[in-house]
């Protein structure tokens, strides 16, 4: 009887741990459905950037999906993002996001109540992609 209870508890812990890890590693954005990306710098003198080529959209989405989920408190000063954006999934569904460039050159994304932080190399690639469309 004791072995059955222990095995049920261990199986339950394994399942709970698996679900927890899965939610931490889940992708913030659905890459396949993205059609266009609209990026608006918060600087009033800057123009809207539109990524409409499929290659650029896929590359942008891959970089966003490589980010690591972070808690709100340890991320950045969230008073003013560097970029506000929308990902067009279809004609009537747009996925909003905000993007910050931190002082340590790591990009931070806010989407659906969660913060995601990019590595330095992914941040450089992301901002090179944005700069190439200015």
Span 74-85, pLDDT tens digits: 656 667 888 999
Identify the CA nearest to 98 among candidates 40, 34, 43.
40
Angle, CA of 92, 94 and 98, to the nearest 5°: 165
Q: How many helices (H) and strands (E) does the chain have?
A: 3, 7
- In the chain the domains, ranked by start, together with CATH numbers, are 2-131 (2.60.40)
pLDDT per residue over 6-45, tens digit each? 999 999 999 998 888 776 666 667 666 788 999 999 888 8
Q: What is the CB-side half-sphere exposure of residue 107 using CA atoms within 13 A?
A: 24
Arithmetic mean of pLDDT, 82-97: 89
Place 97 in a pLDDT band, splitting at 50, 70 and 90.
very high
């Amino acid at each position: 009887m004791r072995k059955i209870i222990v095995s049920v508890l261990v199986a339950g812990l394994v399942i709970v741990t698996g679900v927890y890890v899965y939610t931490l590693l889940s992708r913030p954005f659905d890459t396949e459905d993205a059609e266009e990306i609209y990026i608006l710098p918060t600087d009033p003198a800057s123009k809207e950037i539109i990524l409409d080529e499929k290659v650029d959209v896929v590359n942008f989405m891959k970089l966003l999906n490589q980010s690591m989920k972070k808690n709100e408190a340890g991320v950045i000063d969230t008073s003013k993002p560097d970029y506000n954006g929308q990902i067009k999934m279809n004609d009537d569904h747009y996925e909003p996001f905000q993007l910050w460039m931190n002082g340590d050159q790591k990009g931070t994304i806010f989407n659906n109540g969660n913060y995601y932080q990019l590595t330095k190399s992914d941040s450089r690639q992301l901002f090179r992609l944005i700069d190439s469309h200015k």
